C-alpha cells in the first residue's frame, strides 16, 4: 500500500551545516505518527520540508504518493506550526472564514459549524481570538487545520504551552479527529506521555539521524528489560535472599522491603519464580511484569548518542 508520507534518504544543508543526514521513514494511512527528538534534532526542518517551505538538499519526499511541491498535494495537507497564525482582532468564525476562502471551501458556514463543534468551541464562535487562552487557541488552530478536509495533518508541538487539563482535552480531540475524520496525523512533540498515549508508530531523531523507527509497542518490547516485580506480605530473610541471588537464572535485581525485582533469563517463566517462592513459604500478594516506557526508550537512545 502506498504510504501517506514517504521520506527517503533526505538530507538538508543549512548555512553549511548538515541538519538532516539522510533520514528515511514512511507514515501509513490512518497512522498517528509520533516524531520525537530533542531541540536541534531536525524535527522542525523535517516539517518544513514536508510542507514545501524548505527544499531537501537530497533525497525524495512524497505525500499521498505525489511530489510535495505540487499545489494539488498541498491542498490535501492541514497543519499547525509553532506559531498558531491566528488573527487576534478577528473572531473564531472570521479566522475560519478567511482560511476557508483561501482554500476555496464549499458550504463554508456548515463546515465552520462542524469543525468548531469538533474542537469544543461552538459557544465561543463569535468571540475575538485575542480573548482566548492558549489551549483554546490551539483548539481553534486544529479546527482551521481540518477546515478544508485534508487527508494528512502535520502538527508541530500542538500542546506546547497548554496546561495539563488542556493537553488532555487536546489529545482527546486529536483522537476523535483521527477516527471521525479518518485523518493520517504526523505529530512532532517533546511530550513523551502525549505520544505514548495516542501514537501507534514513532520515529526518534537525534542530530539529524533517525535512531529508532517503527511500531511503538514493538519498539518498547525490544527495549523491555523483562522485569518482574513481586510484592510480598512480609520481607524475606537474609538467608533466603542470599539463596535467591545465587540462582542466577532468576536474575534477582533488587529488594525493597516487601518487594522483589527480578530480570529472569529467557528460559525462566514468571510461574517458575512464583512456585519457588511459594515453596519457600513466601506469601505473595501481587505479581506484575514491568514494560519499558517510551521515556526509557528515549533515554537509552540519548545514552547511545553520548557514548
Q: Looking at the predicted structure, is the pLDDT value of residue 300 above 90? A: no
What 3-state class would DSSP assign to 105?
A: coil
143: enclosing H helix or E strand: helix 134-145
Residue-wise pLDDT for 205-239, tens only, equals 989 999 989 998 787 766 655 688 999 999 999 99
pLDDT band at 47 (very low <50, low <70, confident <90, very high): very high
What CA–CA distance (Å, rounded) separates 141 from 154? 12
Q: Looking at the predicted structure, is the pLDDT value of residue 70 above 70? A: yes
How buried is residue 285: exposed, middle or buried, by Cβ count under 10 Å (0-12/13-18/19+)? exposed
Q: How far is CA 148 from CA 12, 105, 141, in A?
A: 30, 6, 13
Name which of 19-23, 149-153, 176-180, 269-273 the model is least confident about.
176-180
Are the beta carbons of 30 and 41 closer than 8 angstroms? no
What CA–CA distance (Å, rounded) separates 81 from 156? 5
| Higher pLDDT among residues 29 and 303, named by residue | 29
- CA angle, corner 128, sides to 122 and 131, nearest 5? 100
Residues 6+ apart with CB under 8 A from 74: 51, 52, 68
Residue 257: the pLDDT is 92
Residue 244: the pLDDT is 94
Domains delineated in the chain:
5-221 (3.40.50.300), 225-290 (3.30.70)
Residue-wise pLDDT for 73-87, tens only, equals 989 999 999 889 999
What 3-state class would DSSP assign to 127?
A: coil
Residue-wise pLDDT for 135-194, tens only, equals 999 999 999 999 999 999 999 988 888 888 888 888 898 898 888 888 999 999 877 878
Average pLDDT, the chain: 90
Amino acid at each position: 500500500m502506498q504510504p501517506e508520507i514517504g521520506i527517503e534518504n533526505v538530507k538538508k544543508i543549512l548555512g553549511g551545516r548538515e541538519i538532516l543526514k539522510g533520514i528515511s521513514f514512511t507514515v501509513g494511512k490512518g497512522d498517528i505518527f509520533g516524531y520525537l527528538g530533542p531541540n536541534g534534532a531536525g524535527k522542525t526542518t523535517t516539517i518544513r520540508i514536508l510542507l514545501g517551505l524548505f527544499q531537501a538538499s537530497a533525497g525524495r519526499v512524497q505525500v499521498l504518493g505525489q511530489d510535495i511541491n505540487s499545489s494539488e498535494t498541498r491542498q490535501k495537507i492541514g497543519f499547525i506550526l509553532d506559531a498558531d497564525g491566528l488573527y487576534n482582532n478577528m473572531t473564531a468564525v472570521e479566522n475560519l472564514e478567511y482560511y476557508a476562502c483561501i482554500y476555496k471551501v464549499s458550504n463554508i458556514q456548515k463546515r465552520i459549524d462542524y469543525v468548531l463543534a469538533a474542537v469544543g468551541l461552538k459557544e465561543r464562535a463569535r468571540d475575538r481570538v485575542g480573548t482566548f487562552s492558549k489551549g483554546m487557541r490551539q483548539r481553534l488552530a486544529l479546527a482551521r487545520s481540518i477546515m478544508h478536509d485534508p487527508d494528512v495533518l502535520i502538527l508541530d508541538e500542538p500542546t506546547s504551552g497548554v496546561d495539563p487539563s488542556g493537553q488532555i482535552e487536546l489529545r482527546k480531540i486529536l483522537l476523535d479527529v483521527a477516527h471521525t475524520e479518518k485523518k493520517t496525523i504526523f505529530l512532532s512533540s517533546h511530550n513523551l506521555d502525549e505520544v505514548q498515549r495516542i501514537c501507534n508508530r514513532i520515529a526518534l531523531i537525534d542530530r539529524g539521524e533517525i535512531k529508532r523507527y517503527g511500531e511503538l509497542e514493538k519498539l518498547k518490547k525490544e527495549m523491555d528489560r523483562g522485569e518482574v516485580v513481586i510484592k510480598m506480605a512480609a520481607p524475606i530473610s537474609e538467608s533466603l535472599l542470599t539463596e535467591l541471588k545465587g540462582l542466577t537464572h532468576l536474575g534477582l535485581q533488587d529488594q525493597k522491603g516487601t518487594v522483589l525485582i527480578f530480570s529472569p533469563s529467557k528460559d525462566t517463566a514468571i510461574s517458575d519464580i512464583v512456585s519457588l517462592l511459594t515453596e519457600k513459604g513466601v506469601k505473595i500478594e501481587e505479581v506484575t511484569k514491568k514494560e519499558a516506557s517510551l521515556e526509557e526508550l528515549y533515554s537509552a537512545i540519548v545514552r547511545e548518542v553520548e557514548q
